[in-house]
Amino acid sequence: MIVVEQLTKRFGARAVLRGVNLRQARGETVVCIGPSGGGKSTFLRCLNQLETPDGGRVTIGGVTVEGGRTEPRERQRQLRLRAGMVFQQFHLFLHLTALENVMEGPRHVLRQSRAEAEAGAREWLQKVGLAEHAAHFPEQLSGGQQQRVAIARALAMKPEVLLLDEPTSALDPELRAEVRVVLNQLAAEGRTMLLVTHDMQLARQIADRVLFLDGGVIVESGPPESLFASPEQARTREFLEQVR
Amino acid sequence: MQIQGQARCGGRRSADRWSGAGTIFWGALGALLLAGWSLRADTLAALRQRGELRWGNDAEGGAPYIYHDPAQPERLMGFEVDFAGALAAKLGVKSEFVQHNWDLLLLGLADESKFDLVIAGIERTAENLGKVALSRPYFIFDQQLVARAGVTDVRSLADLKGRPVGVLSSSASHRLAEAAGASVKIYQDNVNYFSDLALGRLDAVLTDSPIAAENLRQQPELTAVGVPFAPGGYAVAVRPGDTNLLAAVNAAIATLIHDGTLQRIYTGHGLWNAAQQGLSGWTEASVTVPVRRRPAWSEWRTYLPLLLRAAGTTIWVTCGGMVVAVIWGLGLALLRLYGAAPVRWLAVAYIEVFRGTPLLLQIYFLYFGLAQQLGVKLSAGVAAVLALGLNYAANEAENYRAGIQAVPPGQSEAALALGMSRGLALRRIILPQGLRISLPSVTNDFIAMFKDSSIVSVIALVELTKEFQIRALDTGDYLGLGVMTAGIYLGLSYAASLGARWLERRLQRDRR
């Protein structure tokens, strides 16, 4: 479903990604952990071309983009259509209601009829438990509610994978729980998800596989039980002790 | 009374004059001063003691009245300069010219520290006698009709019923053309109506004979039509109550007429004609008793509708200008933000040029420049709306840019991540938010434009400020008319700001 080969990215003199490789199967939930500045978010942003990688190759749902060159905009768009994105800061469209936020993509990108888009959007809001908040604007919603709308907005595009960039980091502890519930549910349904997080509890709950990303490379990966319990690499062990 | 011949510096002059609110303010102040004439000293005794006669005029008046010597720009020439010199000599003092805005010369007399009297083509009319004291005429002028050479259907004023005729604002020509039923186009100076006549925007110009003579010499495509008519006299204006000075001036003029000095001066300027014989026949008996005009304030029923009608022009020029500015400004902002490099530079250049040059210059360029050099003859209304719109578009573009750039970058990332193209993201996500942010600055400009629109009167559009000036000059009531005019402007701005607030509230519904 996702194939990443030798992905590299520099910001000026700083190499942020130094050859990242990943193969993720359909239905698999992969969680990427690691210290701040280790390249986790950049990795995710390179996957859907919000950043242009300097080298390597990304294939998602059969669409391949090469690093080191500016891909045609239409190719980028095709890739993004297959990879839904959820941001740490939600980034809901501030001038639209919750319902309109979820309808926006299906209506104007997938060109669905208003009725079809609205019915779909209501279903997604129902699924994340916000049916009664359909008419509310982002400023009228709590952070947790906003993030759930953002997840619904991404899912309404029926992406093949869902990329989540620290989806619970901007939330108070009690609001994190409601977002975790939704993510657990999605994982249980067998959605393909690639998630970057500092939230170890969330990682334990939903990961099929955990990647430890540090210094621009994947240092270690494995099922959560083994990686959290008995990490092989010293750096992994050190990191896990710090965040525990 | 009209003296602004070759307005070499027309732009600067008008820019000074056409800050609408400023004109109203100084006018009202002058009116207060005029109302309270109280002479502190005998001006004649004072000027004799000082040894110089300070006379007021506007050096931008132009040939043949008063103008700078092209060879020696600091030297003044003109028949009024020579007349003032001869008059001062007869009074036994030196002649000292004092520059003053022509429109406000008579009001300026109220300030004794500025000048002793005014020699500036002031017509000896009942209106002017109601404001100041006037000497016997020192020059007899006629009205001259001017048309394009080769035109056969303009033979007299009677042929011009309903046809466009250019006149100087508040002049004898203005009143005569209006009385003849012509469609009067009002100008601030004596140059531009000849341009518009040559360009075909006017069918004729009615003006004083010296001005006609001067311009016909320079523009062979124009021709004098019929014989001069409706003679009138230019007189020296002094403060009411300055009886000693008035008597001395009258005596001096009589001497200058009888000893042939005036004939010599006027002949030197090519102005001596049979009509000037009337100068010597003038007697004290023909002086009309000065009557003060009734202030317009008590006749508000007459003047308020006139001002309101002119406000209609202000409204449509402003609204039209704003529509152009709002649409073109958005285009400019988008080109500047998202255009390819050369397009972006062009947009930046446009914005800098239109923000960095006076609106007045832009109006002249659009209305006269395009017509004279490229043959693009815009009507005054179109030129006014375009000039205001193109100028304000530069401001609006910057307002929009500020608004668009204030939209958090996450908004556009989220839109792109949904698979939107950049254009779709701009249209659906960025612009709706950015424009809302710029709305208060844009509506603020709209309110400001109501006041700035007064500048379009330089291309013969009579809007609110112009109507005020015409009526104030006629009646001398700057205070009453000024209050009415200011009231109308205030009403317009307030209505506009109410509308703006309503619009902002409507669009902000979602932001809480």
Domain ends where: B185, B200, B230? B230
Helix (H, G, I), strand (E, B) or coil at A85: strand
Domain ends where: B230, B264, B288? B230
Q: Does A109 touch chain B (CB under 8 A)?
A: yes
Task: Supply the angle between the helices B431-452 and B478-507 in degrees, to the nearest 10.
Answer: 170
User: Which residues partner with A20 through β-bridges?
Assistant: A7
Written as one letter, the residue type at A58 is: V
B494: CB partners within 8 A, 6+ apart: none
- Asked if residue B193 and residue B314 are part of one domain, the reply reads no
Burial (CB count <10 Å: 0-12, 13-18, 19+), residue B174:
buried
- Asked if residue B349 and residue B472 are part of one domain, the reply reads yes
Which pLDDT score is estimated for B484?
92
Alpha-carbon distance of B468 to B487, in angstroms, equals 12
Total of domains in chain B? 2
Question: Chain B, 409-428: which have a CB under 8 Å from a chain A CB?
Answer: 410-411, 413-422, 424, 428
- Asked if residue B220 and residue B324 are part of one domain, the reply reads no
- E strand or H helix at B228: strand B222-238
Q: Which residue of A has its CA nearest to B431?
A: A95
ipTM of this predicted structure: 0.94
| CATH number for position B164 | 3.40.190.10
Alpha-carbon distance of A8 to A57, in angstroms, equals 9
Which pLDDT score is estimated for A153?
97
**Does any domain span residue B278?**
no
Helix (H, G, I), strand (E, B) or coil at A55: strand
What strands lie across the sheet with B94-99, from one edge to the other? B94-99, B52-57, B117-118, B222-238, B133-148, B204-208, B164-168, B183-187
- Asked if residue B428 and residue B322 are part of one domain, the reply reads yes
What are the backbone angles phi and psi of residue B114, rounded to the nearest 5°?
-85, -65
Q: Does A119 touch chain B (CB under 8 A)?
A: no
Question: Chain A, 44-63: which have a CB under 8 Å from a chain B CB?
Answer: 48, 50
Burial (CB count <10 Å: 0-12, 13-18, 19+), residue B462:
buried
- E strand or H helix at A214: strand A209-214
Burial (CB count <10 Å: 0-12, 13-18, 19+), residue B440:
middle
Largest CA distance in chain B: 96
Contact A84 B422 (CB under 8 A): no
Q: Which residues of chain A have pLDDT under 70?
A: none
| CATH number for position B394 | 1.10.3720.10
Among B417, B422, B433, whose Cβ lies nearest the Cβ of A95?
Answer: B433
A105-128 tens-digit pLDDT = 999 999 999 999 999 999 999 999
Give A97's contacts in chain B (Cβ within 8 Å): 510
Helix (H, G, I), strand (E, B) or coil at A33: strand
Kindly report the number of other CB atoms within 10 A of residue B5's CB atom. Answer: 25
The residue extents of the domains of chain A are 2-243
**Does any domain span residue B370?**
yes
Tokens encoding A191: 């959605």
**Does any domain span residue B156?**
yes
Tokens encoding B42: 């005998």
Chosen from B416, B418, B431, B504 to mutate, greatest number of chain A CBs within 10 A: B418
Alpha-carbon distance of A179 to A159, in angstroms, equals 19
Among A85, A94, A97, whose Cβ lies nearest the Cβ of B417?
Answer: A85
Q: Which residue of A has its CA nearest to B422?
A: A73
DSSP code for B289: P
Among B411, B428, B436, whose Cβ lies nearest the Cβ of A91?
Answer: B411
Which pLDDT score is estimated for B71?
84
B39: CB partners within 8 A, 6+ apart: B112, B239, B241, B242
- Asked if residue B466 and residue B322 are part of one domain, the reply reads yes
**Does any domain span residue B274?**
no
- Asked if residue B500 and residue B373 are part of one domain, the reply reads yes
Q: Does A142 touch chain B (CB under 8 A)?
A: no
- Asked if residue B307 and residue B170 are part of one domain, the reply reads no
Tokens encoding B400: 């929009």
Contact A95 B436 (CB under 8 A): yes
A29-62 tens-digit pLDDT = 999 999 988 889 999 999 989 999 999 999 999 9
| Shortest distance, CA B430 to any CA of chain A (angstroms) | 9
Domain ends where: B187, B206, B230? B230
Give A165's contacts in chain B (Cβ within 8 Å): none
Largest CA distance in chain A: 55
Q: Which residue of A has its CA nearest to B409?
A: A91
Identify whether the C-beta of residue B75 lies closer than 8 Å to the C-beta of residue B261.
no
Which pLDDT score is estimated for B156?
87
Alpha-carbon distance of B468 to A78, in angstroms, equals 65
A203: CB partners within 8 A, 6+ apart: A31, A33, A195, A197, A210, A224, A228
Give A91's contacts in chain B (Cβ within 8 Å): 408, 410-411, 413-414
Give B411's contacts in chain A (Cβ within 8 Å): 91, 93-94
Helical residues (DSSP H) of B339-418, grouped into ranges = 341-356, 359-364, 380-405, 409-417
Among B416, B429, B511, whose Cβ lies nearest the Cβ of A93?
Answer: B429
Give A109's contacts in chain B (Cβ within 8 Å): 418-420, 424
Contact B512 A140 (CB under 8 A): yes
Written as one letter, the residue type at A72 is: P
Place of tokens 């007869």: B90
Which pLDDT score is estimated for A92?
96
Q: Which residue of B has its CA nearest to A105?
A: B418
Pairing of strands A63-66, A55-60: antiparallel
What strands lie across the sheet with A14-24, from one edge to the other? A14-24, A2-11, A55-60, A63-66
DSSP code for A222: E
Long-range contacts of B506-511 (CB under 8 A, 24+ apart): B507/B436, B507/B439, B508/B436, B510/A94, B510/A95, B510/A96, B510/A97, B510/A137, B510/A139, B511/A94, B511/A95, B511/A137, B511/A139, B511/B436
Give the residue numbers spanning the domain of B452: 299-507
B277: CB partners within 8 A, 6+ apart: none
Reference B205, options B403, B74, B24, B213; nearest CA is B213
- Asked if residue B498 and residue B350 are part of one domain, the reply reads yes
Give B415's contacts in chain A (Cβ within 8 Å): 93
Tokens encoding B194: 């000849």
Which pLDDT score is estimated for B64?
86
Tens digits of pLDDT across chain B (512 residues) = 443 333 333 322 333 334 445 556 556 555 555 554 555 568 898 899 999 999 999 887 777 888 888 888 888 899 999 999 999 999 999 999 998 888 788 888 888 888 999 999 888 887 788 788 999 999 988 889 999 998 888 888 889 899 999 998 777 888 889 888 899 998 877 888 998 999 888 999 999 888 888 888 888 899 999 888 888 889 999 998 888 999 999 999 999 999 999 999 999 888 888 888 888 877 655 444 444 455 666 778 888 898 999 999 999 999 999 999 999 999 999 999 999 999 999 999 999 999 999 999 999 999 988 888 888 888 889 999 999 999 999 999 999 999 999 999 999 999 999 999 999 999 999 999 999 999 999 999 999 999 889 998 888 788 899 889 888 877 778 888 899 999 999 999 999 989 988 888 887 765 54
- Kindly indicate whether the domain formed by A2-243 is annotated with CATH number 3.90.870.10: no
DSSP code for B132: S
Question: Chain B, 384-413: which have a CB under 8 Å from a chain A CB?
Answer: 408, 410-411, 413
User: Which residues partner with B164 through β-bridges?
Assistant: B183
